[in-house]
């Protein structure tokens, strides 16, 4: 392991001079600084980041806890967050929660052990323990995507509007003549699932359609097996649906696979609309009709809120909802977007 003394030896200066150059604690002669920086480059010295963070009171890192690997949508959100964090001069530490409360606790604990300055969290279905921990430690926190009904003091939240946009997807299918409209939701307990299901029922009611609980199926975490079962149960009904509203992009991918395995044609045999868009949604045949979330704005706004709270811990809690965009394509049964 390369030490500060090794750098000092290569630069032919004292270790204290190396420390002053690294930590900007005292001005040194330009030639001396140049020699130290060259020695750092030559030796590959990284320094003791934790020690410096203790002196400075900051690690200049932001922790991000979400199910980034298993959920394609969150991968896009992570990219947007990382760009904004980097522009602000911070580093991002990511811990994957797999949308599991137990793993979520461990992920947050790991991030806190790295002394992150602040946190961005996409809460699981049971986030109370981690929210209590973050609140008690007074860690500046922004909750993203899944927004609980009550936001703790000193925390902020940002997500999209879920209920009315989902109702509009039902409206669109009803206007096309569908009366048996099903939905396959994501994992139960998530606020996004609850809100989108509420929107589904709102659309059913205001279009004068009969409420049929058999048309509501849970896709769990979007795994192929869970959605495969949901599709099989829907198609086995005595009056199967002619259209499906899919709760997120994981459910969408698995639903399309299940229908393809049955050699069913979209939209000739069944119409599809989905919450969540894909960069490649218009490359499907037929192209997917979706509600597209403003991913870049979501990530940028989350980081902006977090930086503002780092500057002022006494800000009142803020709750922002962004509007998704209806992407009208052909999977709903329309000829053109």
| pLDDT tens digits, 73-122 | 777 888 899 999 999 989 999 998 988 899 999 999 999 988 899 999 99
Q: Is the peptide bond before 101 cis (omega within 30 degrees of 0)?
A: no
Quote the pLDDT of residue 337. 47
From first to last of its 337 residues, the chain has per-residue pLDDT tens of: 677 888 889 999 988 888 888 777 788 898 998 998 888 888 877 665 545 554 555 778 999 999 866 676 777 888 899 999 999 989 999 998 988 899 999 999 999 988 899 999 999 889 999 999 999 889 999 999 988 877 888 899 999 999 999 999 999 999 999 999 999 999 888 999 999 999 999 999 999 999 999 999 998 765 678 999 999 999 999 999 999 999 998 899 899 999 999 999 999 999 999 998 877 666 677 889 999 999 999 999 999 999 999 999 999 999 999 999 999 999 999 976 4
Q: Is the peptide bond before 100 cis (omega within 30 degrees of 0)?
A: no
Quote the pLDDT of residue 49. 53
Write down the CATH superfamily of domain 60-160+295-323: Response regulator (3.40.50.2300)
Quote the pLDDT of residue 54. 46
CA dist., res. 136 & res. 61, Å (int): 20
Same fold, 60-160+295-323 and 163-293: yes
CA dist., res. 124 & res. 278, Å (int): 22
0.85 surpassed by pTM: no
Q: Are 249 and 269 in contact (CB under 8 A)?
A: no
247 three-state secondary structure: coil
Supply φ then ψ for residue 181, to 5 degrees: -110, 120
Half-sphere exposure (CA, 13 Å, Cβ side) for 202?
Answer: 14
Overall fold of domain 163-293? Rossmann fold (3.40.50)
How is the chain split into domains, by residue range? 4-47, 60-160+295-323, 163-293
202 Cβ contact list (under 8 Å, min separation 6): 163, 164, 166, 167, 170
User: Looking at residue 216, what DSSP letter applies?
Assistant: E
């Amino acid at each position: 392991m390369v030490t500060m003394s090794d750098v000092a030896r290569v630069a032919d200066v004292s270790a204290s001079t190396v420390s002053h150059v690294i930590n900007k604690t005292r001005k040194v002669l330009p030639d001396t600084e140049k020699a130290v920086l060259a020695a750092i480059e030559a030796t590959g010295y990284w320094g003791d980041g934790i020690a410096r963070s203790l002196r400075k009171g900051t690690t200049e890192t932001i922790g991000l806890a979400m199910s980034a690997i298993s959920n394609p949508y969150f991968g896009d959100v992570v990219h947007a967050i990382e760009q904004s964090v980097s522009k602000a001069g911070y580093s991002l530490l990511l811990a994957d929660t797999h949308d599991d409360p137990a793993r979520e606790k461990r992920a947050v604990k790991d991030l806190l052990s790295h002394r992150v300055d602040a946190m961005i969290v996409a809460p699981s279905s049971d986030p109370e323990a981690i929210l209590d921990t973050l609140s008690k430690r007074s860690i500046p926190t922004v909750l993203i995507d899944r927004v609980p009904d009550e936001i703790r003091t000193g925390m902020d939240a940002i997500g999209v509007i879920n209920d009315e946009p989902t109702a509009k997807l039902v409206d669109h299918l009803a206007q096309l003549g569908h009366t048996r409209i099903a939905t396959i939701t994501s994992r139960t307990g998530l606020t996004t699932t609850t809100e989108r299901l509420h929107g589904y029922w709102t659309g059913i009611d205001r279009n004068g359609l009969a409420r049929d609980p058999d048309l509501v199926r849970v896709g769990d975490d979007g795994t192929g097996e869970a959605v495969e079962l949901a599709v099989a149960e829907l198609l086995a009904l005595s009056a199967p649906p002619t259209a499906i509203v899919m709760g997120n992009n994981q459910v969408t991918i698995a639903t399309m696979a299940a229908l393809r395995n049955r050699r069913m044609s979209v939209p000739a045999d069944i119409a599809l609309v989905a919450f969540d868009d894909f960069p490649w949604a218009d490359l499907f045949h037929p192209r997917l009709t979706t509600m597209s979330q403003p991913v870049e704005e979501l990530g940028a706004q989350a980081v902006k809120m977090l930086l503002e709270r780092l500057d002022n811990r006494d800000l009142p809690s803020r709750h922002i909802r962004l509007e998704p965009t209806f992407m009208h394509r052909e999977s709903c049964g329309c000829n053109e977007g």
